[in-house]
Structure 1
Amino acid sequence: MWWFQEGLCVLPMALVVWTAATFIFAYITAVTLRHVDPLVPYISDTGTVAPERCVFGIMMDVSAFLGIATMYVRYKQVQALVVPEQKRLLLLNRVGLLLGCASSFGMCVVANFQKTELFYIHLLGAILTFGMGALYVLTHTVLSFLMQPHTHGKNIFCVRLCLCVWTFSSIISMFVSSLIVYSSLPGVDIPKKLHWDPMDPGYAAHMASTVSEWSLAFSFISFFLTYIRDFKKINLRAEAELQSHTLHDSTHYNNAHQPGETSPLLAGSI
């Protein structure tokens, strides 16, 4: 058995690989067709113009679905490991699920509302994706701290803490540099500006903002790689149970069910 066949570890791995492929494929296509500059454009700029726009939207929607599935499985796993008396952990787990679902919903908004057309809706989607996603990372980092050493070792917590610091550092850097860009170019429609010249005012801040966005995206999806070891312990099992209907007419029952005959319906379950 290959390592990705153990338990459900294929789920977080598929999320990371698919999302990274979405970003990279859109970037290569947009640069090849000269729709964006090759030197670190915004992620959303690589999915603004057709044909990469359509592929970017579809692939991001799939990433959102994989994200919700992964976060839900993690939610159920933590719920099973925590005793009912640990109400603080159960509350944090529920909050984490809500934050994760909000982040995945934001991915769908980003994928389907381009910033060159509906900038404020696109911005709302980006805030949900990265803002709620960062809070999700923080929530499960705290959960890892509270659940060690009974659930996992200290190493997993340290890795998640480093990824959490990386995520919030990228958010702060992107926020500050974006403010500098907008203040340096008053009157310029920055959301529609897909090409930048090194001599443009605010170019350095723009580069810092785009690098921070890519850094933030990969720090967020890398967090799910830490779930692989935990998900190896989870097995998906389905049970089918067929309930029989009570027959009130005893005469009909006796005539229909002759001695020596058996029926799964009458047995009550399979």
Structure 2
Amino acid sequence: MWRCSPWALLPPLFSVLTAAGLWIVYFVAVHDMRIEPLGSKYTREKRPPFISVAGNYAPASCIFSEVMNLAAFLGFMIGVLRYVQLKNYSVKPWLNVCSLVTFSLGCFGMTLVGNFQVFAEMAVHNAGTFMTFGLGTLFCWIQSYVTLVVNIKNEGRTVGIIRFVLAASITISMITHFSLVAQKLFMQGAQCQWALVMFFLLFIGTFAVEFRHIRFHIVCTENCRGPESGSGVLTEVPMYHPDQL
């Protein structure tokens, strides 16, 4: 019998589908000879395999925009559900709100990256890149700390350590990426960028651990004053117990 909440499927689906979409963009760009393959030596005959460069030219750009828009939407859903889940635990409210706002702005940055190609609108594209990577990294550190503090089902220590390792890997990859690009080591910088994105997707996928304990339901009423119980439209069943059907 399925003992976990179906919401546990959302984070890994986000990670797997986003990663698959980005790699499809990469392979299309390589096939069209727009970028150098990641494992090759950069010869300057083609452009380096940065994610944004791979998604700059049609038809890869069309796929890239769709992937980033859908990823931003699913990511925002994960951020909201995580916020609602943590409301019932002893985490500082301002920290929970800060986490939600940070990740929401990061998701908005993803839409800028996907819809404003780097060679067409470089300023807007780069702003979206800094929002996605910068705010996304901050979100990872906040959630790593919150995981240890909340310690849901006594799993916080193990999951928290994993998240701190991933957050550190994301931070190191981001710093290394920008450092290599500044030194015009474009192939190595592109490899670090891909590693950064994959680490970030792995981090989001770990929310399946906590999401398997929760269920959400929506209350629909014709009373404009809201439900008589005073609860909000989005109501959470705080914890999912194995004996529940």
Which residue is equivalent to 2:105? 102
Which residue is equivalent to 1:27? 26
Out of 66, 80, 96, which is 1:72 matched to?
Answer: 80
Structure 1 residue 15: deviation in Å? Answer: 1.0
User: Contact 1:29–1:52 (CA<8 Å) still a contact in 2?
Assistant: yes
In the superposition, the TM-score normalised over structure 1's length comes to 0.75
Change (3 A) 1:8 1:150: closer
**Correspondence 1:173-212 to 2 at 5 A:** 173-181=176-184, 205-212=185-192
Out of 35, 58, 64, which is 2:66 matched to?
Answer: 58
Which residue is equivalent to 1:218? 198
Which residue is equivalent to 2:164? 161
User: Contact 2:141–2:167 (CA<8 Å) still a contact in 1?
Assistant: yes
| Gapped regions of structure 2 (runs ≥ 5) | 40-48, 225-245
Distance 1:127 1:117 in 2: 17
Amino acid at match of 2:57: V
User: Larger C-alpha radius of gyration, 1 or 2?
Assistant: 1
User: Contact 2:29–2:60 (CA<8 Å) still a contact in 1?
Assistant: yes
The RMSD of aligned alpha carbons is 1.9
Which residue is equivalent to 2:124? 121
Report the 3-state secondary structure (helix = DSSP H, G, I; strand = E; otherwise coil) of the residue aligned with 1:236.
Answer: strand
**Correspondence 1:243-262 to 2 at 5 A:** 243=223
User: Contact 1:110–1:126 (CA<8 Å) still a contact in 2?
Assistant: yes
Which residue is equivalent to 1:234? 214
User: Contact 1:106–1:124 (CA<8 Å) still a contact in 2?
Assistant: yes
| Gapped regions of structure 1 (runs ≥ 5) | 182-204, 245-270
User: Contact 2:25–2:64 (CA<8 Å) still a contact in 1?
Assistant: yes
Instruction: Report % sequence identity.
Output: 28
Structure 1 residue 126: deviation in Å? Answer: 0.4
Change (3 A) 1:243 1:180: closer
Out of 152, 155, 158, which is 1:152 matched to?
Answer: 155
User: Contact 1:7–1:233 (CA<8 Å) still a contact in 2?
Assistant: no
User: Contact 2:12–2:206 (CA<8 Å) still a contact in 1?
Assistant: no
Change (3 A) 1:235 1:209: same
In the superposition, the TM-score normalised over structure 2's length comes to 0.82
Which residue is equivalent to 1:138? 141
Count of residue correspondences: 215
Change (3 A) 1:13 1:149: closer
Distance 2:159 2:62 in 1: 38
Distance 1:66 1:29 in 2: 24
